[in-house]
Amino acid sequence: MEGITVLYPGGFKPAHSGHLDLICRYSEHPAVDKILVLVGPGVREGISQNVAVDILNKLTEGMNKVIIQAVPYPSPVLASYKFVEAAESGCFALAASSKEEENAKRIKDFVFKHSPEGKFYRKDIKVFELPIDIEPKRYEGRMDEHEGKPISASVIRQDLLNNDLEKFETSYPDSTIEQVSFIWNTLKNIK
């Protein structure tokens, strides 16, 4: 199994260290040729698709296997189906942590529907399960109710509303100062 394109669909409003951790782990996987991050439309608390794409591009700069792409589909799963439907050929997998039970059924359905018994089967398309064994990134050093809990975009948006850069930074523990500054300034400048 090699030459796999991993599809990672979502809203990413904004992307955070947990998202980036999964992207990094896939980029290290020897069977993976590229990771296609499919950014959905819509606006969440002022964060548009374009802003989400800009932030992801900043967080993944220098990662040669990663491609960030805006998509018109509001459902992450639909975006993945539409991408595979439009592909001429290839090997694909949906990005997922092996720890995410809620995604297990969705991924199994995606694989099955592209199998010879499935509704979307094509002989030139292969779809695999390729979960990554990874724990969610958790907050450290917040000293509030989020301490020890998984990093969350909704907490990031609340930190922005509270104008709390120190807590905001806890959502990006592995990012550079330049990346965190870029994200903070980009999000603070949203009108």
Q: Which two tokens stand for residue 101?
A: 């039970």
Beta bridge partners of 98: none
- 180, 102, 119, 32: CA torsion to nearest 10: 40
Domains of the chain (ranges, CATH numbers): 4-128 (3.40.50.620)
Are the C-beta atoms of 22 and 16 separated by less than 8 Å? no
How would you write the pLDDT of the chain (191 residues) with one tens digit per residue?
Answer: 679 999 999 999 999 999 999 999 999 999 999 999 999 999 999 999 999 999 999 999 999 999 999 999 999 889 999 999 999 999 999 998 766 666 778 889 999 999 999 999 999 999 999 988 888 899 999 999 999 999 999 999 999 999 999 999 999 999 999 999 999 999 999 86
Kindly report whether the peptide bond that precedes residue 74 is cis, defined as omega within 30 degrees of 0. no
* Torsion of the alpha carbons at 100, 117, 122 and 64, rounded to the nearest 10: 20
| Cβ-contact 5, 92 below 8 angstroms | yes
pTM for this prediction: 0.93
